[in-house]
Amino acid sequence: MDCNSIRENYILNTGWKFKLGEEPKAWYKGFDDSSWRDVNIPHDWAVEHPFDINCSSGTGYLPGGKGYYRKAFFLPKKLKGKQVFITFDGVYKNSMVWCNSYYLGKRPNGYTQFCYDITDFVCFGDDPNVIVVKVQHEDIADSRWYTGSGIYRKVTVTVKDKIAIENNSVFIYTAKAEKEQAEILVQMSVSNAQEADAEISARHILYDRNRPVASSQNHHCVGAGGRVNDYQVLTVNNPILWSPDNPCLYTCVTEIERDGKIIDREKTVIGIRTFSFDPDNGFFLNGKSMKIKGVCVHHDAGCLGAAVRKKVWERRLKALKEMGCNAIRMSHNPHMPELYDLCDSMGFLVIDEAFDEWEGVKNKWVKGHNVYPPAHYGYYEDFPKWHEEDLSAMILRDRNHPSVILWSIGNEVDYPNDPYCSPLFKEAMGNNDRNKPLAERLSDPNKPDAKRLVTVAKKLVSIVKKHDNTRPVTAALAFPDLSNAIGLSDCLDVVGYNYMEHLYEEDHKRYPNKIILGTENIHGIEQWLEVAENDFISGQFLWTGVDFLGETQGWPCHGSKSGLLDVAGFKKPSYYFRQSLWSEKPMVKLFTSDMIEEAGGDFDRSHDLISAWDYKNGQDILVVCYTNCEQTELFINNRSAGIKRLGDCGKGYLTWIVPFEKGELKAVSIDKNGLTHECVILTTGKAAKIKLTCADTLISADGSDMTHIIAEIVDSDGNRVSHARNRIRVTVEGEGYLMGLENGDLRDLTPYSENYRNAYKGRLLIYVSSGCKSDLIKVTAESDGLISGEAVIECK
């Protein structure tokens, strides 16, 4: 509990009861739930079940269903008379909520944060409060990617005064930022739920760490049952400007004072920065030109499903940062709030995206990607009634994040004939239309007219601007030719192009006043050069930064391999190729393959590459070197296999074909300053033992903290045996529990609920959660024929 005398927040993440299936009386406060399962939040029940070929391929061959959650909690008597709210960060989906048998409401959208006022229904003192949540996710083919099922994000109860800052009303933004001085505008609303008028002071204090650097105060009379809007200006001298290279954050403390007593307080973390897009010169941050080097991400984490904790994303973002990435596109929905906090503190620019579909339903693949016929469920059923509330919720929640630079109102809503058609294009195919029947490629006058997209877009843009007029609006377009022709792109401040790099130059000439950004791109060097060599293109967002569940080509694969990191967060060969293009730091990395004709540098041909030097003696082996250094020499057992220059290769990476010889493979690269950098791969011995490496050996005993443990199968010298696929069994003893095992192999159908899994490329990731008591946690990893590995974690 984050508790002070002014406002109290209770995080309801532990001690929930859960039942999968129907229970008509579950809403009733007095219902006996003692036979239900104990679970903690976040929770995703889908990954607790085996993969099933009869489930939808689009959502990862995992089931949905209907489930109920119940949580009892107490509020101290001293809080009686205050306002009480409950906030859900994400429930997938069609949630219905009760408090003490009183029905609060329904929220169809599974990605949107929502809040209920439960002031009239709560008890104080020894009488428990019971929250009941019904979740309905029976149409599992409702998405093109894995969604999860359940209360998969944080739940918070907030208690505050009758006179208080309204939820999500504080909006802080940079009006001007120069080296000597910055001007920060602050607006908020204060409501009075009492029956008498109230004189108040509204004060803002800006802190650089613990040092106040600016303050402002206004006085208001808030009428009984009314509200006032407050606007103030903070002037900051010598500000430190936020950027990906220096993500400096300030904290604004907003206080409401009445009769000399502070009655409400809210803290908002901000960054001081300005940015702009120019149709000819691209993106500028704090007046300096920069290229956006972004990746798209979905919200799952393999074995954890959608119930992802902050540390999982922290580990992923750290790896992406090391690669040279500076931007994230939240595909194709609002993500967990903690991810935006990390982007603020770690230095990532963000496209915040609201929808994947509007009124028209997209194809949802159930038997493999582009395998007809598709299913047709999805958010389109709720869009007409809920789009304004859902879009507003995203903007209001995220508009104080300095990382957020663009609001995206949709992803590929203009996809050819899916379902919107136009007589301007008799036949059309999208970027991902392999196997599409001719009838589906032809314009159909009986399908929705694409011109309708313009009407919807204008309304969505107006909703965004109502809540935030400081950031541009974009959409990720699949068919720019159509969108430009019908006027859809005219609705946007920044026009997002998905996979249409060949149109950049031509469209820049045809529409010189339009700002073009690559919002979804493949991993090839040609696509990057379109950005690097053209000032008018601000950047690109690769599809994707991390492998994800769902959107699979077909059984037995249960996810997409499009990432630079796999679902375990391990770096793939394509990661290092991208690092060689994006990173300013010199780097060199070696991979090998015995599939000489099939290996390469771009992502879709690099999955067979492995960082290993274990083959048959004399066998011809392809060696691939990713580097940003000018010259590299390859050595086998200290004998040169040749020198190659990156500028001579024309493909962004270096290759050799050499006969295998047991021992050492080494690359020595020379950077532009004449400094050398090495990468060495050794021939390994037989698998001998399991080595455990724990990211955090001290975690909090709050039931919500966690740690990552990497289990590696190594030889007697401690070198990872990359070809090892031994089955590893994991046990957790003490005040903690096993959250899941992930190896990054999307063809491994071992149920995620098991405590064993095969190693993949010689390693396995172990997720361990803390409990709620101080104690030691012992983790043991065993495999037949190998020496076991152990790790001890302190939980306190």
Find the Cα–Cα–Cα–Cα dihedral 480, 483, 487, 493, rounded to 10°: -60
Which amino acid belongs to residue 393?
A
Query: Which of these, 112, 94, 111, lies nearest to 392 by C-alpha position?
Result: 112
Residues near 531 by Cβ (< 8 Å), separated by ≥ 6?
291, 518, 537, 538, 539, 540
Q: Give the span between the Cα atoms of 606 and 562, in whole angstroms.
A: 11
The answer to whether 301 touches 312, Cβ cutoff 8 Å, is yes
Burial class of residue 228 in the structure, from the number of CB atoms within 10 Å of its CB (0-12 exposed, 13-18 middle, 19+ buried): middle
Q: Is 794 among the residues known to form the active site?
A: no
User: Which residue(s) pair with 699 in the sheet?
Assistant: 795
Q: Are 177 and 272 in contact (CB under 8 A)?
A: yes
Taking Cα atoms as reference points, which of 680, 678, 676, 628 lies closest to residue 654?
A: 628
How far apart are alpha carbons 704 and 698 in whole angstroms? Answer: 13
- Would you call 520 a catalytic residue per the annotation? yes
* Degrees, nearest 5: CA angle 144-145-147: 120
Closest C-alpha to 430, from 441, 420, 439? 441
C-alpha angle 388/393/398, rounded to 5°? 135
How far is Cα 465 from Cα 467, in angstroms, rounded to an integer? 5
Contact, 68 vs 149, CB < 8 A? no
8, 353, 357, 412: the active-site residue:
412
Residue 39 one-letter amino acid = V
Which are the contacts of 768, defined by CB distance < 8 A and separation ≥ 6? 706, 707, 709, 732, 736, 737, 738, 739, 777, 779, 793
* 793 backbone dihedrals φ, ψ, rounded to 5°: -120, 135
Separate counts of helices (H) and strands (E) for the chain: 10, 50
CB 623, CB 595: distance < 8 Å? no
**How many residues does this entry show for the chain?**
796
User: Which residue, 138, 139, 131, 137, is CA-closest to 150?
Assistant: 137
| Cα 472 to Cα 276, 336, 413, distances in angstroms | 9, 22, 18
Strand order in the sheet with 83-88: 2-3, 8-11, 155-160, 83-88, 114-117
- Cis amide linkage into residue 419, ω under 30° from 0: yes
What single DSSP character describes residue 421? Answer: B
Tell how strand 114-117 and strand 83-88 pair up.
antiparallel
Inter-residue contact 779 to 730 (CB < 8 Å): yes
Residue type, 9: N
Residue of 285, 284, 405, 316 whose CA lies nearest to 353: 405
Q: Which of 23, 501, 520, 551 is catalytic?
A: 520
Between CA 67 and CA 76 the distance in angstroms is 30
Longest dimension (CA), the chain: 90
| Residue bearing tokens 């920044």 | 494
Contact 304, 47 (CB under 8 A): yes
263: left (phi over 0), alpha (psi -120 to 50) or beta: alpha
**Cβ neighbours for 384, distance < 8 A, ≥ 6 positions apart:** 359
* DSSP run (H or E) holding 458: helix 452-467
CA proximity to 613, closest of 676, 692, 690, 667: 667
Helix (H, G, I), strand (E, B) or coil at 755: coil
Show which residues are catalytic.
Answer: 412, 520
